[in-house]
Amino acid sequence: MLLFALLAIPLAAGALSFAARNRRAMEAINLAAFAVLFLLAADLAWQVLHTRSVQLWNGFLAADSLSALVVLLTAFVALVCSIYAVGYFREDERNHVFEANVRGAATISSLRKYYSLTPLFVFAMLLVALANNLGVMWVAIEATTLASVFLISFYGRATSIEAAWKYAMIGGVGLSMALFGTILTYYSAHNVLETETLAGLNWSVLVVNAQQFDKTTMKLAFILILLGYGTKAGIAPMHTWKPDAYSEAPVPVAAMLAAAVLNCALYGLIRFYVLTTRCLGPEFASQLLIIFGLLSVGVAVPFVLVQKSFRRLLAYSSIDHGGIMILGLAFGGALGALGMLLHLTFHSITKPLLFFCAGNVEQHLKTDLFRRAKGGLIHSMPVSGPIFLMATLAVTGIPPFSMFQSEFTILRAGFGGPLLWPPILLIVLLVAIFIGFLVHIARLVLGADPGLPPSDSCPWKKYSLIGLASVVVILGFWLPGPLFELIRNAARVVGGER
Amino acid sequence: MYFFEDPQFGNRMITLMAAFVLVLQIAMVGQRWLVTNIRVFAAQSFLLAGIANTIAYFNHAPHLYIAAFLTFSLKAVVLPVVLERLVKRVDIGQEIAPIVNVPLSLLISGGLTTVGYVVAASFHHPEDTASPASLGRNTLAVAVSLFLIGFFMMISRRKAIMQVLALLSLENGLFLAAISLTYGMPLIVELGIFFDLLVAVMVLGILVYRIQETFDSMDVTKLSRLRG
Amino acid sequence: MNALAGTFFFGGLLAYAVGAIASLATGRSGRLARVFGCGFALTGALLETISSCVALLAASDAHWEIPAGVPFLIYSFRLDALSAYFNLILSLLAAAISIYSFGYLHPSDDKKTTGFLGFFYNLSLLSLTAVFTASNAFFFLIAWEVMALSAYCLITFEHRLETTRRAGVLFFVMSHAGTGCLLIGFLLLNSLSGSLDFSSFAAASPKLTGAWQSAVFLLFLAGFGVKAGVIPLHIWLPEAHPAAPSNISALMSGIVIKTGIYGLARVLFEFLGVPPLWAGTFVLAAGVVSALLGVLYALMEHDLKRLLAYHSIENIGIILIGFGAALMFITLGHPSLAAIALIAGLFHTLNHAVFKCLLFLGAGSVLHATHTRNMEKLGGLIRRMPQTALFFLIGAIAISGLPPLNGFVSEWFTYQALLAGFGTTDKLTRVLFPVAGSLLALTAALAATCFVKAFGITFLALPRSQEADNAQECGLPMLTGMGLLAGICVALGLGATWFLPVFDGITQQLIGVRMSGELVAAGGWVLTSGSARGGTVSTAGIAAMFVVLSAVPALLWLLWGRKGHRHVEPTWDCGLPGLTAENEYTAFAFSKPLRMIFAALYQPRREIQAEYEVSPYYPTAIRFDSEIESPFEERLYGPFQKKILEIATWMRGIQAGSIHAYLAYIFVTLIVLLLFGVRP
Amino acid sequence: MSVVLQALAQLAFFLIISPLVTGVIRTMKARFQTRRGPSIWQPYLDLHKLLQKDMIIPDTASWLFSATPYVVFLTAAIVSLMIPMVATEAPLSLFGGVLAVVYLLALGRFFLALGGLDTGTSFGGLGSSREMTISAIAEPAMMVAIFTVAIAANSTNLSEVAKSAVGQSWRFLAPSQMLAFGALFIVLIAETGRIPVDNPATHLELTMIHEAMILEYSGPYLALIEWGASMKQLVLMTLLVNTFVPFGLSPGWNISGIATGLGFYLLKLLIICCLIVLVETTNAKMRLFRVPELLAVAFILGALALISTFLF
């Protein structure tokens, strides 16, 4: 029932929001739904922690530790984004953004679009994590794309339509590859399982028999899955939609794309990774993942070093972190998987903070270009400014913030492996990315007072920022025991244990 | 009518239809008129439905009939109609200058077909060619080629609507692969895929319309403001 | 004793932590934040001083492990001799700076910033303590980066100035690059020893040989070298240290760069096993180059704080000369000589910390009183700020290595170690030791020249600007802070023999010998170079002789001088009407001979523009511009940065906005991978 | 003889002999230039006169101006007790060896330069700047020469250096010793402000170095500085003669030993004075920026000395 509730609540919230007549009602519906959702997700995590697995409908929906972790993070991101969104869209309304649309749509219909599509979006993401069947999982991932296209083109500017088009097209191609990979997986299992029922694609069934799968097919399947879900996760060279989509979407949507969709795509990848390593041994997958991981981190470097827009900067950071997680997976072993999932967790919590800061700054300056910002934001934004700087440091892996811990764990796993150059190269690239970030954000936040009017007065925006920032700081010193236990169990799932 | 029982006959039929599917795909590559392209796509989808029916018949896989019906109704009828109306509405006849010119495109398509065959060749297990389970498996090469050529079309065409069409033909390749390798996916998955496809086409249709409205053109090369 | 040391140790940590939080919490009231920020820091510093002294005296090797609430992290502290020694340096300086800061921070300046300053100040003290005592690589790295982070925030404190922001970013960037090296180094050690614990690294050191050893050595040298400011990794230092508020500059130059020295000591002598000979030679050469270039660039500075910052580079070089020699002696199998060289380096670390801190605080007082750091605008402060001038003079004498103060003692040991090095081998490398010694002598002499300039131009003669003319002596807290350090300078100089046993624990731990017995002779009055016949010196004796021999001038005075009178008259002005500040020699002119002599290094450019109305021989105004080349920025880092940015700009073509290109990337990848996947 | 008496004796010798050496050089130089020159006792008369005179203190100067003469005088006095003069055992050799000597002299110079700056005139600054520069670049040459000696004796303690030469009395003919001697001699010329580096007899602003710094000193302060300077000169000369050619040094502090030691010592001083005078009369003063070249020569000599220790 819990699993059903997890899926039903966002669907219901989407429908209710669609029916709602005014802004307050929509805000209230979303907030309430996501708050309840978060509690349910926490409950799920708690149950999974004790029973290892929760199932519904004869195993059609199933949650193991990995799913529970992804569900929990998705629910968390959805909750904080919905809180922030209230302040964000109110500010947009005050700035008459909606009236200035190319389409000239009225405020309420724009808001309705956001408030009803977002729960659908979240529903799709939860389904990704909860579906046991890999085919259904694919359908759900495709659904996340479809639900978010119009969220990306939300503002109706020429550039946002461009971004949405690229997102839809590249995503479409990517997911076709993923479907191809899924078909091949089904095929390679087909002969072994001799079944044509739904269970033939159930992960829980596949993982048990993975060793007998056809090896060549599994290789091709993994390549296609890697490219497919890699596209969705924004792994280079399939990352190209990311900067466009992240910079054009409304900030809460961008935050969700960066923090939650990434998780879902990686989640899909992990499921197949486990099958592949079981079938082929770890070398094949880890070879590929090392190349793609390093490529992702490396691709981000030039764009981070030379960048004109801070929204796009964040997108490249997201590509970089996708690469790091992929590398964690690639370095393998219990440590690599654990590092990867820790990174996933910390990233999901830190990244929204960074996006919210960028959102506040963008709404304050009315631009996301560095060149138009005169620096010295700390004077007009005494809360967002310093937190922006702090979040930058957090996201670039500076201790005491938690991402250093996960990156360190991943690197440790890397140095434990047969090849030394990938982790060393990773360190070099990470340093370069840090440099780019620091230079850009320090220039933006610090400096003489340019004389802008004070901002940071909206309590929704301010307190969602402060709250999340506190979580980020606390995580640097204290990771709650049960959460760590959950992550560790999830890492066992990645490592192939049940 | 004994040959209706003969798997060998079914195999031939499938191979023949698959070959036609590939020919149609290459025809799309060479074709500049949008409306013609849409109709070629419809024909291709129709053939696919035929292949699905044949496989369902010879392998006694009843759920494939449903897939075949959905393919027919959705891809051979509904989508072409929707797309043709869209083309009429935005009033654009043909692709003037594709990014890769037609002769070269045809050449590349040939190359991609070869790649498809090479990839598919790795699936051949000599010991089970004779068994009924292998029925239609030689169409895999066609499926991979369809997929690759469709992908290539997305790269070589400027018009947004052609990209949508290319994406759809690419999905046809997937469908062919699914039915030929495993006689389709589990039914609920199949339904989900079709539902997604439908929604995707609607979403893309709306986007195409918005592009036309915003940029006064369907040329996606004009969508290049977001850089760096 | 462990329990006692531990109680004070954690008490100190707690005080720092409380100070950080309290000053942040009371940030709205500058007055309160100042009291909390400085008060808790002082408390913590005193507790840490006691703890370190206890640990050093009792030769304890206390070890505490506190599990952190974070995966894999254990707050693992170890207060062994080396840690306790550096912690002692830190806490001594922290105490003086905290007292000084109380006067330096003006609550009326800016209310909010005082709270932040207190927060980051205490945080940096906390992290510094952790750096010196961490005994787990993971914890060490975290403490290391938190230190860099808080240092960045402190440097960037006056971020309204463009130069300050740039300096901060430069610091953080260089520091982080260094951390990257450390990260690789520690992870290499980790994969060798299978644990992140420092003790396991030490235990695994015999396994570390060949290429791995070389790699680890170079990585740590680079990583810690950045923080220490070894040339050519120093470029951030002269920018960052002056940019910070002066009390923070004192902290930075006094102790933060010493973390690099601590790290080197820890790694080179404990984790590296027996290093190859080239490693020691390399460190020695790096030390000589840093020392010499550091002081040469210092000579060209007319900004008081930048000048001091360059001297930090010089002194780091002197410390490294000691370390390099020690490494070479270890390789050559002379542990007792190695111990002397190590003592020289470590003692100089303490000495430099004390007098550099003193000098920066003095510069801070000058800045506080005159609002300028430009020496060309100062002068005459000795009459307006007599105590500050006296303390600065003590610091200047100490840093110039002149007897009988502390700088002399450690340089003396360095010379002795280098001289002894000549006899240790018959390879040609032995000529390096005396050559290094003579270059050290050049360095010291140039340093003296530089401080004649720094002190003379800043404090003596006539004020060169209105601000300097109006300067007033600073308040009691600031004077107390400086006085404390000046006292330590004198005490360490005169009482060096009684201080030497402190090093026994360290040399025992790192090299396995105890030397203090051999280094002291004549009942504790005389320092020796290991044997009484080798070389001796007695700073206390020299100081005593100053007092005793004063009888001679006094006698002369009695015999002859009573008839004469003192007249205070205007200085001879060459017949011009009245001597003004414009007649004085400037700092620029003072260093001119050296600029000419070392023109090959400085590549000075000058530009003279004379404006005239009638004839060029009768100019109405002359503008003179001169600058020297900064070769590392212009020849090394500048082109590198430019190249990187060029490549980055070129690579940005990847994302040119064309969806077709984007799809093509995926397409090509797909084909390549498919073919890769089906290859037989 | 107790150490106190030894110290008193050596101090007295130094105090008394040092003006004489200045006088001897001056007179000898005059004779070489076929002038009559002043009496060799003239420096004593100068000191006597200066000590009696009034002092004029510039109004810009601070307490440092007054402290400088004492520091200069005292450092020279302390140093003089660390060097073996007539006996191998210097009275205060335990308090410091050659390094302490060099650094104590540097301390004196440090204060002298500050004293020059304290007056506020251009001349003072000019002198300080030049003095510090030249002494700085003289330093490596001096050190490398001293190291050669110290390495041969395996000690930086000057008494030990002198003792180690006992029994190998022709050691000074070794190439390394000769080269080091040459280096140190050049340094001596530079440090004592003699031609070709500085001209002690000039007050021309373009050329003066040492004199520029002490231009504002008068009366007893000037006397202390002058006396300190001549003691420093004697210290350096003693260093030169007694470390390289420790002939005739008395092994202990007894009357007869001291007498012969003193005799040999004065003889050696006379020879060194002759050398200095020879150099001063046969050379012209160099341009300031040629001086580094001279000192580079000294450094090379010293380095060669080191290497020849290695070779032979």
Q: What is the complex's ipTM, to 2 decimals? A: 0.91
Angle formed by the axes of helices A262-280 and A215-233, nearest 10°: 160
**Nearest residue, CB atoms, A187 vs list B182, B188, B192:** B182
In angstroms, how far is CA A408 from the centroid of its own chain?
21
Q: Which residue of C has its CA nearest to B152?
A: C667
How close C520 gets to chain D, by Cα (Å)?
A: 12
Tokens describing residue A323: 């690469």
Tokens describing residue A156: 């109706």
Cα distance between residue C148 and residue C142, in whole Å: 10
Beta-carbon separation of A133 and B170 below 8 A:
no
- End-to-end CA, chain A: 23
Beta-carbon separation of D151 and C565 below 8 A:
no
Q: Within 13 Å and on the Cβ side, how many CA atoms surround A396?
A: 33
Q: Which residue of D has its CA nearest to C538?
A: D95
Cα distance between residue B220 and residue B163, in whole Å: 9
Q: Which residue of C has its CA nearest to B123?
A: C678
Residue B126, pLDDT score: 47
**A-to-C residue pairs, Cβ atoms closer than 8 angstroms:** 154
Check: pTM over 0.90? Answer yes or no: yes
**Nearest residue, CB atoms, B115 vs list C657, C666, C671:** C671
**Nearest residue, CB atoms, A415 vs list C159, C190, C652:** C190
Cα distance between residue C518 and residue C536, in whole Å: 11
Domain of A336 in residue numbering reads as 2-494
Tell me: the pLDDT tens digits for C558-568?
888 777 788 88
Q: Residue A315: its chain C contacts at CB < 8 A?
A: none
How close A253 gets to chain B, by Cα (Å)?
A: 18
Structure confidence at residue B177 as a pLDDT band (50, 70, 90) = confident
Tell me: the pLDDT tens digits for D251-275?
888 888 889 989 999 999 999 999 9
Question: What single-letter DSSP state applies at residue D94?
Answer: G
Q: Which residue of B has its CA nearest to C660?
A: B155
Q: Within 13 Å and on the Cβ side, how many CA atoms surround B38?
A: 20
Beta-carbon separation of A184 and B226 below 8 A:
no
Cα distance between residue D189 and residue D279, in whole Å: 9
Mean pLDDT within A90-109: 71
H or E element that contains A177: helix A158-193
> Which chains touch B (3+ CB pairs under 8 A)?
A, C
A219 in contact with chain C, both atoms CB, cutoff 8 A:
yes
- pLDDT of B129 strictly over 70: no
Specify whether the CB–CB gap between A3 and A56 falls below 8 A: yes
- pLDDT of C216 strictly over 70: yes
**Nearest residue, CB atoms, C658 vs list B151, B224, B228:** B224
Structure confidence at residue A20 as a pLDDT band (50, 70, 90) = confident
Q: Is A369 helix (H, G, I), strand (E, B) or coil?
A: strand
Residue D185, pLDDT score: 93
Beta-carbon separation of B119 and C674 below 8 A:
yes
Beta-carbon separation of D48 and C560 below 8 A:
yes
Q: Within a 10 A sphere around the Cβ of C578, how many other Cβ atoms?
A: 8
Angle formed by the axes of helices D3-32 and D42-52, nearest 10°: 110
Q: Count H helices, E strands: chain A?
A: 20, 2
Tell me: the pLDDT tens digits for A261-310?
999 999 999 999 999 998 888 888 999 999 999 999 999 999 999 999 99
In A194-250, alpha helices (H): 203-209, 215-233, 241-248
Q: Within 13 Å and on the Cβ side, how many CA atoms surround A84?
A: 29
CA torsion C576-C579-C583-C586 (nearest 10°) is: 170
DSSP assignment string, C40-79: HHHHHHHHHHHHHHHHHHHT--EEEEEE-BSTT-EEEEEE
D158-189 per-residue burial string, b: 16 or more CB within 10 A, e: under 16: bbbbbbbbeeeeebbebebbebbbbbbbbbbb
Share above pLDDT 90 across residues of chain C, in percent, rounded to a whole number: 61
How close A46 gets to chain B, by Cα (Å)?
A: 30
Mutate to test the interface with C, among A222, A393, A435, A437 (most CBs of C within 10 A): A435
By the 10 Å C-beta count (0-12 exposed, 13-18 middle, 19+ buried), D296 is classed as middle
Residue D222, pLDDT score: 92
Cα distance between residue A40 and residue C427, in whole Å: 76
Scan residues 640-679 of C and list those with Cβ closer than 8 Å to A: 644-645, 647-652, 654-655, 659, 661-663, 665-666, 669-670, 673-674, 676-678
**Nearest residue, CB atoms, B200 vs list A150, A156, A172:** A172
Q: Which residue of B has its CA nearest to C679?
A: B122
Cα distance between residue A486 and residue C186, in whole Å: 29
Mean pLDDT within C530-534: 78
Question: Structural domain tally of chain D?
Answer: 1
Beta-carbon separation of A179 and B225 below 8 A:
no
Cα distance between residue A65 and residue A47, in whole Å: 10
**DSSP bridge pairs for C78:** C63
Cα distance between residue D308 and residue D190, in whole Å: 25
Specify whether the CB–CB gap between A408 and A338 falls below 8 A: no
- pLDDT of C392 strictly over 50: yes
- Residues 6+ positions from D66 with CB-CB distance below 8 Å: D57, D221
**Nearest residue, CB atoms, B174 vs list A183, A216, A308:** A183
Q: HEC string of C206-239?
A: HHCCHHHHHHHHHHHHHHHHHHHCCCCCCCCHHH
H or E element that contains A296: helix A282-305
Specify whether the CB–CB gap between A245 and A152 falls below 8 A: yes
Specify whether the CB–CB gap between B192 and A139 falls below 8 A: yes
Q: Report which listed range, A204-208, C612-616, D22-26, D287-291, is most confident.
A: D22-26
Cα distance between residue C220 and residue A347, in whole Å: 30
Round the average pLDDT of chain B to a whole number and report it.
83
Q: Residue C526: its chain D contacts at CB < 8 A?
A: 94-95
Residue A392, pLDDT score: 94
Q: Residue A170: its chain C contacts at CB < 8 A?
A: 659, 662-663, 666
Mutate to test the interface with C, among A218, A276, A426, A431 (most CBs of C within 10 A): A431
How close C12 gets to chain A, by Cα (Å)?
A: 20
Mean pLDDT within B91-101: 74
Beta-carbon separation of B151 and C663 below 8 A:
yes
- pLDDT of C146 strictly over 90: yes
Longest Cα–Cα distance of chain A, Å, equals 72
Phi, psi of A100 (to 5 degrees): -85, 5
Residue A498, pLDDT score: 52
Domain of D63 in residue numbering reads as 3-311
Specify whether the CB–CB gap between B203 and A148 falls below 8 A: no
Mean pLDDT within A341-370: 92
Residue labelled with tokens 């004020």: C463
By the 10 Å C-beta count (0-12 exposed, 13-18 middle, 19+ buried), A153 is classed as buried
How close A81 gets to chain B, by Cα (Å)?
A: 24
Q: Where are the domains of chain C?
A: 1-135, 148-273, 279-512, 584-627, 633-678
Q: Within a 10 A sphere around the Cβ of D289, how many other Cβ atoms?
A: 12
- Residues 6+ positions from C565 with CB-CB distance below 8 Å: D54, D55
Tell me: the pLDDT tens digits for A21-54?
888 889 999 999 999 999 999 999 999 998 878 8
Phi, psi of C159 (to 5 degrees): -75, 0
Beta-carbon separation of B189 and A248 below 8 A:
no
> Which chains touch D (3+ CB pairs under 8 A)?
C
Q: Residue B152: its chain C contacts at CB < 8 A?
A: 667
B118 in contact with chain C, both atoms CB, cutoff 8 A:
yes
- Residues 6+ positions from C617 with CB-CB distance below 8 Å: none
Mean pLDDT within C90-101: 94
Tokens describing residue C180: 């990257």
Mean pLDDT within A146-154: 91
Tell me: the pLDDT tens digits for A113-128?
899 999 999 999 999 9
Tell me: the pLDDT tens digits for C551-590?
999 998 888 877 778 888 888 777 777 778 888 888 988 9
How close C658 gets to chain B, by Cα (Å)?
A: 6
Tokens describing residue A93: 């309304």
- pLDDT of A226 strictly over 90: yes
Residue C67, pLDDT score: 87
Angle formed by the axes of helices C257-266 and C111-133, nearest 10°: 10
In A95-157, alpha helices (H): 107-130, 134-152
**Nearest residue, CB atoms, A479 vs list C70, C649, C651:** C70
